[in-house]
Structure 1
Amino acid sequence: MIAVDFDSQIYGIDSNTGATWAIAPGENLLINSMAKNSAGQIYVAGSDASGVGHAPLALLDLDRARFTIVADVPLQTIRGMAFGSGDVLYAIESGFADIDDLYTIDPLTGMVQFVGSTGHTAIQSLAYWNGLLYAYDNANLVPGPGLVTIDPATAQTTDVNPAVSSGTNDFQTLCFDSAGVLYGASTILATIDTMTGKPDVYAGLYPLVRGMEFMDPIPYAMRLTVVGACPGTLQAAIMGGSPRDRIAFLYSIGSSGPVAIPSGPCRGTVLELGANASLGVMSNSGQFGNARSIEFPVPAVTCGQLRIQALNLTTCETSNVVLVD
């Protein structure tokens, strides 16, 4: 899973254990929501840092762990987002008198359309499954809201189970996995039964997570991310290895290959790098199977030409290739 906190720091989360690791430091964004469309693109939005009443909508580049602002949304605070049928983007804003309103957002232009008022005051999350929006109202009332469904056409809400209140659970984000299991997170990680509204908290999280989504699978054993601006100082990181694997971060300049490793323990393994592929740095994966390189300088002349790929010397598996632009 990929996650962000309010200060736009990016984290990886193991959905089975709740193990969390930092991927990239924050940028100048205040993030309160995350949503993934059918193409696997991940958007984030949150609060207006300038005070003019417009919140930026940004696209997350997983390869480079950075955000690109794609639209200016005329909403003050976007508390939750979810893509619905036809990739319609829905958003919750804390509106007049703190009543949570439902909008749609055009990701290309940032234009919004008011759908309706939910009548709730403490929704901080939104997710979509099988024709319905799901949200979690954190108002600490007994009996009280907790998990609710929202009609995407009218914003009418239904309490999934009035006997189950939010209580001490405070969910800042919701998302579904591919099987339709609902997950919620903040400083805790839980699955939430969509029939009963009951959360099953199974892990604590060290960041306060404000947005979370499952990443689409890639045809590689490991996922590589390269953090930092070019020219400048970069750092490469992988997830998807096993504890104590030996990881080599390889690079080439110019052509993209493929090229087969000519010798050594991984002889014959095909890389998606050029014939000038070289060893950059080595690292060992930690207890969660993640590895990070030391920081390394990259000159301007290589920007747009430098390709990086990770090779697991323990298994001879490879990662995706990241073009450093």
Structure 2
Amino acid sequence: MQRRTLIHTATLAAVVASGLIGLPASAQGTWPTGKTISYVVPFAAGGTTDTLARLIGQQLGTALGTTVIVENKGGAAGSIGSEAAARSAPDGYTLLGGTVSSHAINISLYPKLGYDPIKSFDPVTLIGTNPVVLVVSANSPYKTLKDVLTAAKAKQGGLSSASAGTGSSQHLAVELLGFKSGIKFTHVPYKGSGPAIQDVISGQVDMMFDTTVVAAPHIQSGKLRAIAVTSAKRLASMPDVPTVAESGVPELKDFEVQSWQAIFVPKNTPKPIVTRLHDEIRKVLAQPDMQTRLKGFGMEPADLSVAQIGAFQKAEVEKWAQVIKGANIKVD
């Protein structure tokens, strides 16, 4: 009787176990358990990274059977939020919206950066790349890049140029413009693109380089005037806006600045979790409506493996280190 009971118990256990195999990970008591996932955006609300986080986060949460909340922790061109994410537990419950600023530029600008863009994180997904566009208020007298350069040269201290923070791609773009043209500009850093671009719209700041994700809606609504894009070729989404290189200024013939957006997790996050996140986010980004939105923003969608993202990031760190050193760019 006892032997029969043991056999029955073992058989029941096998049946239960076989049933669990087909259940989602959350039902097995493994990641994700239903615990909220924090998607850290190291910039203020309203910017590119924030916009993408909210578009991706909701669908990702549905796919994982949990909730993804966006947390804005802006400051120092993404350094503050990135450092906070780097110190989080590597358990799959913290994602970070990384950018060319936070994960390629800052390491060469801030001598006491509280994280290493490569050693402190594991890459998950490269969302896409996009150039930045030089914009001024719709009420501004400047209509071309030559107008901007002429006015900056004539004004004491140059024209003011807003950015999402010191070391951001917006900041690097104006520094490069000044370096290559030999004309001075006054950099005005903010804690994110959202508040910065509002002050450009109101005319409190003369101009700003910003990503097409943030600037395009304001250009389309007539609040901003697009002066030039920093890509090698004109954008399909802004065919009437010339490139900086088309300005006719010889010193700017090879001017190009590309921003990018990616998702990272704290270093040593279990590989199966990184793989699951990579696969689920790829599915979200591959949806036709998401591809349309990304391209509408002027962003070129990317589809790289985790290993390829790592190689891409290392190359970007080296590239911007050379630019910063060559232009002698210093933090404010």
| Structure ranking higher in strand proportion | 1
Using the size of structure 1 for normalisation, the TM-score is: 0.24
- Tell me which of the two structures has the higher relative contact order, counting C-alpha pairs closer than 8 angstroms and 6 or more residues apart: 2
| Structure ranking higher in helix proportion | 2
- Larger Rg over CA atoms: 2
